[in-house]
Structure 1
């Protein structure tokens, strides 16, 4: 698969070491983690570990999360795409810098990831998992054509009242749902 994809407004590329500071700045911004503050990155090592997971997905499956840059300026505004989870499902994810929220970049980025996932392994389901009170993320999943297939308490969440949602492009087997939930 192509390491670089160009959408109407974005240049999507595999992460490289030089991207760490910009990706950390996004992952460290409390506005980006308003729906799950305990997951906010407070140390660049956490971001580096995340980028290493993306790299493993690229090596194992030929696809992983990208760094998203504006085509016009080259500014890094986020990350996302599809990453392989336990060889069972593609996890579509999107994290956009707070100053760029509300412009449709998450949908554009995620749509490109799903298109590539369906080229590589069309029989593998695409999922998105999110917390229920993150309605904006749920709206993106719904715009992508994913449907709610699971709702339950979010195990491990510091707030026991939080519900975890799993959206998918098709019904999931028990093994696929287990992979989605971690």
Structure 2
């Protein structure tokens, strides 16, 4: 893959690192209203907000050694979304797992496949104690994926970007 730092691989996917040249990929994902409605209270992200998200991911990799790594199909090198971690509770050594897929890659099992690799990385390589995850209250697909991955429902938490109470889950090592 051209000029990409590969972080993890699965059977069908490569998880790489975001870089400054990835604006078009960031817009293809977070600029899509069907994707953004699950992560933004107003149902979309502006150009500036997508730009800020990309910058935040690059910065997080530098500072914390993790980000929501971009996903690419191994065969075609097509961008399919992102999956990764961010520090959630530093005093308890808990990270948050997230995945966002481009609309044309929904329903192919990529979120679960990438999440399994990221979970393995978090527990085996980073030695984190637990992972947190949440989802938009109307997103049944994400709920189903988290349950299949072994996450346990812990209650609802207010998620500032949407202003809604999001179901929350924990997976312990």
**TM-score normalised over the length of structure 1:** 0.79
| Alpha-carbon separation, structure 2, partners of 1:91 and 1:120 | 16
1:40 matches 2:44? yes
- 2:57–2:67 contact (8 Å) kept in structure 1: yes
Paired residues for 1:44-55 under 5 Å? 45-55=48-58
Aligned residues: 166
Cα drift, residue 4 of structure 1: 2.3
1:103 matches 2:102? no
| Alpha-carbon separation, structure 1, partners of 2:55 and 2:161 | 23
- 2:136–2:167 contact (8 Å) kept in structure 1: yes
- 1:29–1:40 contact (8 Å) kept in structure 2: yes
Cα drift, residue 148 of structure 1: 0.3
Q: Cα deviations across residues 101-146 of structure 1 (Å, max 9, x unaligned)?
A: 0000111111111111112433431011112221101111111110
Match of 1:130 in 2: 135
**TM-score normalised over the length of structure 2:** 0.83
Match of 1:20 in 2: 23
Q: CA RMSD in A?
A: 2.4
| Alpha-carbon separation, structure 2, partners of 1:28 and 1:20 | 10
- 1:57–1:84 contact (8 Å) kept in structure 2: no
- 2:154–2:168 contact (8 Å) kept in structure 1: yes
| Structure 2, unpaired ranges of 5+ | none
| Alpha-carbon separation, structure 1, partners of 2:38 and 2:61 | 28
- 1:64–1:84 contact (8 Å) kept in structure 2: no
Match of 1:7 in 2: 10
